[in-house]
Amino acid sequence: MQGDHHGDHHIVIVDGLTVRHQHLVGALKSARGMSVQCRPFAELIQNKPDPDEDSLPVDVIILLADGDTPHQEMTARIRAAGLTQPLLVLSDENAASDDETDEMIRLPVQIGFLLGRIRAHISMYESSEDATLTLGAYVLRPGLRQLILPDGSAVRLTEKEINILRFLHRANGQPVSREVLLAEIWGYNSQISTHTLETHIYRLRQKSEGGTENSTLETPLLVTDAGGYRLVV
């Protein structure tokens, strides 16, 4: 999967993929703000990277139930592997729900409806107290507005600081320009300047690293790079 995926939500579609589902996958790949990988079930639960794909954080898992293996068994193994992201099961049949699945969706499904459900589950997950994002040596807990530092202590973040870290996390260690961050976090507001962003970055560094732009710390959270910022992952 090549190209610029800054800010995209990353969907993994697991198993059960047939010719009948190709249009669904194509529609998801074409949707703004989404990137899609198709992974074998065994590779997903073993957390093996796909050598032909970019290594991207997973926001949503979609299991295409094929009827050969009970989806309840597969969803249980996904959770047992420590994957806590929203898990949607798409089935051609009226399959019974289970405790590990966030939502059962009957096929065929309209792409607009599916995208709406995907975004809703991402939003609920990111705002839950259980949600965690690993940012190199740090852990972000958006629902609690906390950043866990490498020494185990926690600092409280503002909503804008959390949104900046979420967006940089989706870039998977690649630099994001100031212009993109301003547009995504503040919107296209002519009253907002790069100074506003730089002030938020400075405060983030103070909270997370106890330093300034010139600090030389062993475990920085983010760095200035290529006209923007990136997380140290």
Q: What is the pLDDT of residue 212?
A: 42
Token digits for 212? 């300034």
Q: Answer whether 231's CB lies under 8 Å from 136's CB.
A: yes
Q: Where are the domains of the chain?
A: 9-126, 133-231
Q: What is the pLDDT of residue 60?
A: 93
Q: What is the pLDDT of residue 62?
A: 95
DSSP string, 2-15: -S--TTPEEEEEES
Distance of alpha carbon 77 from alpha carbon 45, whole angstroms: 7
Which CATH architecture describes the domain 133-231? Orthogonal Bundle (1.10)
Q: What is the pLDDT of residue 199?
A: 92
Q: What is the pLDDT of residue 33?
A: 84
Q: Which CATH number is 9-126 given?
A: 3.40.50.2300
Q: Which of 40, 42, 37 is nearest to 57 (CA)?
A: 37
Quick count: other Cβ atoms within 10 Å of Cβ 98? Answer: 16
Residue type, 93: E
Q: What is the pLDDT of residue 87?
A: 95
Q: What is the pLDDT along the chain (233 residues), one digit of tens a residue?
A: 334 555 578 899 987 666 667 888 889 989 988 889 888 888 888 865 554 455 567 889 999 887 667 788 899 999 898 888 899 999 887 777 788 999 999 988 899 999 999 999 988 887 787 788 888 889 998 888 899 998 888 999 999 999 999 899 888 888 999 999 998 888 866 567 788 899 999 999 999 886 445 444 568 899 998 779 999 87
Q: Answer whether 148's CB lies under 8 Å from 181's CB.
A: no
